[in-house]
Every structure is written in structure tokens, then in C-alpha cells.
Structure 1
């Protein structure tokens, strides 16, 4: 049996891991990219395999072009030609006002959150486009509600990077349609993941959940459901669409 191949960047934890498990349960062979935490990524692979699915882990820093090219080549050789891509990898840094930020911090954010998804889209199109001998496919970019709110006083640089992801999604969708590729996005709100610890506040969701109309943080699996719907044939007439998964915020 041939499984459609899905690459998830940042697939070892949080939203990426939840998406990997759900995708495998729905019949994808899942390529799980990670940058540093090989143990977490391999744990997701082993859980998928234990449940009868197909998965493999691949190390790469998507902010580096050479590593992106290598990543896609390794996926080709291990699982086969790509059918779908989820650009999920993202970083943020310690909460900080703009006047305290330096250029090095901003470059780190943009490398992973903007340059990385764009390069991954490029490599995916080269494999999925009907004009390159592919069968078409689907891309889902994981943005953030911060792209709409600006994350004032905390993560303005991160919010700006996710605004760029939204623009990439809308623009690329219009071009890639002729290649047989649908491009959509999801904007998670306050989700219970380890990412908040990178910003210096592991319990941030509990602090800010009062600002959410539903009065709670979201779970990674709730975002994964939206991602898998956008990848599926149920969303066959959706491209350039961005779904907020943010509890009404």
C-alpha cells in the first residue's frame, strides 16, 4: 500500500506532534522534522509505529537553506515523493519591548518563522506541482493570532513574523493553484504547549485565558484537527483560507 507523504516541520512537540499523530491515523506516512530534540521526535515516531502507522524523524534547521534542501532530499529517499506540507516550526524569544530588542534576535525569529516556511514551500512545490511531474498537493502554514493582535509589549517581532506567514499563505495560494496545490493556514490562539517557556512564562496560557471568550486555552489536538481538515479533500475548494483556532478571540 502506498501512503501519501506528509512533512511536518517542528513535528516533535506541541501542535506538530499532535498533527503528526492525527495524520498517521488518517493514513499519511509522516516525516517529522526537528531541530534539536531528537528524543521527542523519535518518541512521536515510535508511538505512530506502535499504532500501525508509518513515520520517520529528520533533523534540520529550516532557517538554513542547505539544511532545507537536505531535509527534502532525505524525505524523498526515505518515504517517497511529497504529497503535503505543514509549516509548523516556529520560535519566539523572551518577552520584551521593541526598544530593548537587537537585530540578532529579530534575525533569529525571521530565519525560522519566515525564511524557513518560504524555503519549505519552494521545495514542496518543486515536488508536488503538476508542472514538475507531481500530482498536486496541499500546504498548511501555521501562523498565530498574534499576527492580528500584534502581541504588544511581549512578542512584537514574533507577531510580525506571523503576519508575514499570513501574507505568504494568501499570495502563494493564488500562484500555486495552477500547479494543483492548495495553500491554507491556521492561526492558533493561546495553546497549551512548551513554546511559552521559551518566552520566559511557562504558565502564560493560564494567565491570559480570561481574555479568551471561551475562557480557556486550547489544546494542540484542536489545532491539529483544523490542519488535517485543510489537508483533506473535504477542503478541496479552499485555498488562501486562514482558520482561527483561538476560542473566539
Structure 2
């Protein structure tokens, strides 16, 4: 059976790095994006130029009907999915909890938690239907254990939910041979900081990281691809911390 992976939020940053490495490793890649079509199409073009197979698919993972469309189109054009990387996530703007708009909190949970659950449910349905022992990797954050006070407590809480869900779902699916794992990156050199309203954050937080620097997206992608691989065949329910010592 061909290896087919859906990577959500894959147009740029960590998701794009995961998509590139997955394609290099022989996966046909569904590059999901929410709104940045240009970045997603450029990534797909680059993967194809290097001999890989990829397809850009717009869908808001927070909307269950759009997730169903994402999976249906992936299967129709690339083949049944054998792996899922739940990478799509948002932070909202950096602020104290009491200064964070309730609508922002709800949006973060809809994408980071509900969206991840919608996609996981769709993936497991596909794995069962085609009889494969698929793999799901969920992107958490070191914020799940630090709480991110005075920055985005709501985001940290959403990622803590991701880690609990990862553990519970892994134990539930283990008898079927379906593995569910997580990766918790620390601060990484992506555009998420600028989107959150603090583009200078990488320089501010680097001194507090034991390794003295932020991660490159490719370093996080390496951890994800290892968990997807047969080398991690006895690993499930684990969230791998990839945070430079944090």
C-alpha cells in the first residue's frame, strides 16, 4: 500500500518542513492550508520538482464538514491516508489571560483541540476502512507544561488538552495497532511570533533556552518523521519534547 500522509497547516513553518521531509521519505503528501494558498501551492510545486507527489487542499480543520472534504479529496487524488500529522494551530495575540478576548480563546480551542479531534476521527475511520495500522502525530508545545503566563495561557491550555488526548486516544487505539504520538516543540523560528504580535520574541526568549537558540522547523520535522516511521513501532501515547532543554 502506498504511504499517504495528511499534514494540516502545512503551507509554511513547521508544517511545511514536515511535508517536505515526508515527501523525501516516500510519502504522497496532502498539504492542507487554511488561507495562504500561495505558500501551499509553492510548497507543492517544490515537492513535485524534486520528484515527490503532493497536493494542496484548502480546509478549515475547525469545521467538521471541511475535514471530511479534506480526507475525501486526499483519498480520491492521492490514495487512502495511512498517516496524519495534526500540525494546524493558532495562538491568538500575546496578552495576559484577563486581556485576551473570549472569542480568541474559543477560536484557539476550535482549531487546536476540536480541529485535531475532527481530523483524528476521520483518520481512524479511514485506517479502519482500508485495514491499515496507521499513525497519528499531534503537534503540542512546551507551553503545555510551562503554562505561558503573561503570553498565552489559553494556548498553553489547548496544548495540554492535546497531550491528554494523545495519551488517551493512543491507549484506546493500541489494540488495533494504530499508534498516536505527539511532539512538543519549544520556540521555533517560524512566522507564528509575528502573527501573535511579537516578532522580536525569538531574540527575547533565546537566552532562557539551555541550548541558547530557537529550533529550526526542520529539526521539529525530523522528530515527527521518526515517530511516523517503523523505527518508532513500539512508541505510542508518548509526546516527545523537542525544546532545546526547556
TM-score scaled to structure 2, two decimals? 0.98
Matches within 5 A, 1:1-249: 3-129=2-128, 132-249=129-246
In 1, Cα distance between equivalents of 2:2 and 2:192: 31
Cα offset, 1:99, TM superposition: 1.2
Cα offset, 1:3, TM superposition: 3.1
Q: Deviations over 1:139-184 (max 9, x none)?
A: 0000000000000001001000000000110000001112221000
Cα offset, 1:203, TM superposition: 2.4
**Are 2:2 and 2:79, in contact at CA under 8 Å, matched by a contact in 1?**
no
In 1, Cα distance between equivalents of 2:200 and 2:141: 18
**Which shifted more, 85-94 or 133-142?**
133-142
In 2, Cα distance between equivalents of 1:30 and 1:10: 12
RMSD: 0.9
Aligned-partner SS, 2:92: coil
Aligned-partner SS, 1:214: coil
In 2, Cα distance between equivalents of 1:102 and 1:23: 37
Cα offset, 1:70, TM superposition: 1.0
Please list every run of 5 or more consecutive structure 2 residues that lacks an aligned counterpart in the other structure: none
In 2, Cα distance between equivalents of 1:75 and 1:39: 19
> Post-superposition, which runs of at least 4 consecutive aligned residues in structure 1 deviate over 6 A?
none
In 2, Cα distance between equivalents of 1:222 and 1:22: 11
Please list every run of 5 or more consecutive structure 1 residues that lacks an aligned counterpart in the other structure: none
Cα offset, 1:15, TM superposition: 0.4
**Are 2:80 and 2:130, in contact at CA under 8 Å, matched by a contact in 1?**
no
The count of aligned residue pairs is: 246
Cα offset, 1:137, TM superposition: 0.8
